Structures are given as C-alpha cells and as structure tokens.
C-alpha cells in the first residue's frame, strides 16, 4: 500500500498541516523534534513527499494533468491562465494558441479516441465504449507515481458545430474515481482552414486532501500540456503520412 505525505501549502513553518493519504483515509502526521536527527530526516522526507504530491495531483485530469516536462519541440506560443466561471465560481485552467496547423487535421486528431493513450501524458488506456455521429463515450485510465496510483473515468465527448465554421468538443465525466472532471476544446479555422486557433479549458475536483491553490495551478499547466500534446501528435501524423 502506498502512503503519501502532503504538505498543506496554506500554512507554513512548524505549524504546517501534514496529512497522510493512504487510499481514502486521512490521518495526522507524526512530528519530529526540531533540531534532532530524526527531525532532519523528517523535514527531508516532507520535502520529497511534497514533490510526490505535486506529481500525483499533476496527473489527475486523465492525462491532461501531468508532471511530465513540456517538450522542447518548436511550437507557437501558448497563452495559459487561470479563469473563474462567473456563473458557478469554479476555477478552470485555460490555454489558447494560434497555430500553423490545418483546422481539419486538429479535428481529426481529437476524434482519434483510441490513440489518446499514445499522446496525452500518463494516459495508459483509451477505449471507445459507444460512438455515434458527434458523440463518443470513452473509458480512460491513467497511471501515476510509476503505476502506484491509478485513476479511471468514463467520459462523454460531444461535438458542437458553430455558426462560424468552428467546432467545440465538450468532455463530461459520467463515472470515475475523481469527484468531477470536465473539459472543453474550442477549434476555430483561420485562413480558410489552413491555420487554426485552439483553446482548451479544464476543471477537476480530485478526491484528495490537496490545497485548492495547487489544484488551480496544475489545471493551468494541464491546459497548456494538452494543447502541446495534441499539436505534436497532429504534426507527427502529418509527417508520417
């Protein structure tokens, strides 16, 4: 059984709140006497555990979240930000990019559901459970911390054609072991479809005792990584065609 110690970033110093997350259980962490050898080991362990927590939280958005560094491949600038939905007060991560990638090619990649595991970070399984025109139900799995923690979800994807010729792709979790997961792709053709504007927004409510500020930060990173992963996969497919 994997035990993870998380530092609550909303507190600091010796009064910082520590919790052990073992499965779904949460217990107070034992403290070590400052200045002692065990105290030094404890502080070092807490730092390592905090990093582990960041990696864990960083993968919970079914592959969009992840601690994998952004690739160094050439790519147009991606503008990423934290946004708050005025109607629901929910915190989302959002990223936008203007790309020299054909609109139709990006949309084809988004529709390539079985290959999500090939390009979205940490996604190990992507199965199509049901599909009809403009709609698909997927089963997704992601393995984190070298497979020590696995998340899964059934996610409904729906396409919405827009009057300007673009497409929205809405993702909504139907079932899974996170509290909530929603996402939205917005694709807009530019220059008669030869170029594209791409936007991705993500919301996640994990079943983990982690600070909301950390969740917000990882959502922003997730949005940027998702755009990068989709574009790199699309360009690789174009090159191999």
What phi and psi values does residue 192 have, to the nearest 5 degrees? 60, 35
The string of DSSP letters for the chain reads ---EEEE-TTS-GGG--EEEEETTEEEEPP---TTSHHHHHHHHHHHHHHHHHHHHHTTTTTTSS--PPPP-S-----EEEEEE-TTT--EEEEEEEEESS-HHHHHHHHT-GGGHHHHSTTEEEEEEEEEETTEEEEEEEEEETTTTEEEEEEEEEEEEE-TTS-EEEEEEEEEESSSEEEEEEEEEEEGGGTEEEEEEEEEEE-SS---HHHHHHHHHHHHHHHHHHHHHHHHHHHHH-
Residue 39 pLDDT: 54
Spell out the per-residue pLDDT of the chain, length 241, in tens.
333 333 343 333 333 332 333 333 333 334 444 455 555 445 544 444 443 344 444 444 444 444 444 443 446 789 999 999 888 888 899 999 999 999 999 999 999 999 998 888 778 899 999 999 899 999 998 765 556 668 899 999 999 999 999 999 999 999 999 888 899 999 999 999 999 999 999 987 777 777 888 888 888 988 999 999 999 999 998 888 7
Instruction: Please give the model's pTM, rounded to 2 decimal places.
Output: 0.69
pLDDT recorded at residue 148: 63
Question: Which pLDDT belongs to residue 216?
Answer: 87
CB 95 within 8 A of CB 229: no
- Residues whose CB is less than 8 angstroms from the CB of residue 45 and which lie 6 or more positions away in sequence, other chains included: 5
User: Residue 188 has which token pair?
Assistant: 């807009």
pLDDT of residue 147: 60
Domains of the chain (ranges, CATH numbers): 4-57 (no CATH), 79-240 (3.30.530.20)
pLDDT score, position 75: 65
Q: What is the pLDDT of residue 22?
A: 33
Cα separations (Å) of 70 from 144, 146, 188, 198, 213?
Answer: 17, 19, 24, 18, 21
The residue to which tokens 């594209």 are assigned? 196
4 dihedral zone (left: phi>0; alpha: psi -120 to 50; beta): beta
Q: Which pLDDT score, from 0 to 100, does residue 73 have?
A: 41
What's the order of all strands across the beta sheet hosting 25-28?
4-7, 18-22, 25-28
Instruction: State residue 214's pLDDT score.
Output: 83
Output the pLDDT for position 163.
Answer: 96
């Amino acid at each position: 059984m994997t035990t993870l110690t998380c530092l609550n970033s909303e507190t600091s110093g010796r009064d910082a709140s520590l919790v052990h997350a073992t499965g779904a259980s949460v217990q107070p962490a034992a403290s070590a006497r400052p200045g002692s050898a065990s105290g030094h080991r404890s502080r070092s362990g807490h730092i390592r555990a905090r990093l582990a927590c960041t990696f864990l939280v960083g993968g919970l958005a079914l592959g969009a979240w992840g601690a994998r560094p952004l690739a160094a491949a050439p790519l147009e600038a991606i503008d990423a930000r934290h946004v708050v939905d005025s109607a629901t007060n929910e915190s989302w991560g959002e990223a936008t990019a203007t790309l020299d990638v054909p609109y139709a090619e990006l949309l084809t990649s988004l529709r390539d559901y079985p290959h999500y595991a090939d390009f979205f970070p940490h996604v190990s399984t992507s199965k199509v459970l049901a599909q009809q025109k403009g709609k698909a139900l997927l089963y997704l799995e992601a393995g984190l911390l070298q497979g020590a923690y696995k998340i899964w979800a059934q996610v409904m994807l729906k396409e919405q054609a827009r009057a300007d010729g673009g497409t929205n792709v809405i993702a909504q979790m139907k079932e899974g072991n996170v509290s909530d997961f929603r996402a939205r792709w917005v694709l807009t053709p530019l220059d008669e479809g030869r170029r594209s504007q791409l936007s991705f927004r993500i919301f996640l409510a994990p079943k983990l005792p982690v600070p909301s500020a950390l969740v917000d930060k990882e959502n922003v990173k997730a949005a940027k990584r998702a755009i990068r992963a989709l574009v790199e996969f699309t360009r690789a497919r174009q090159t191999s065609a």
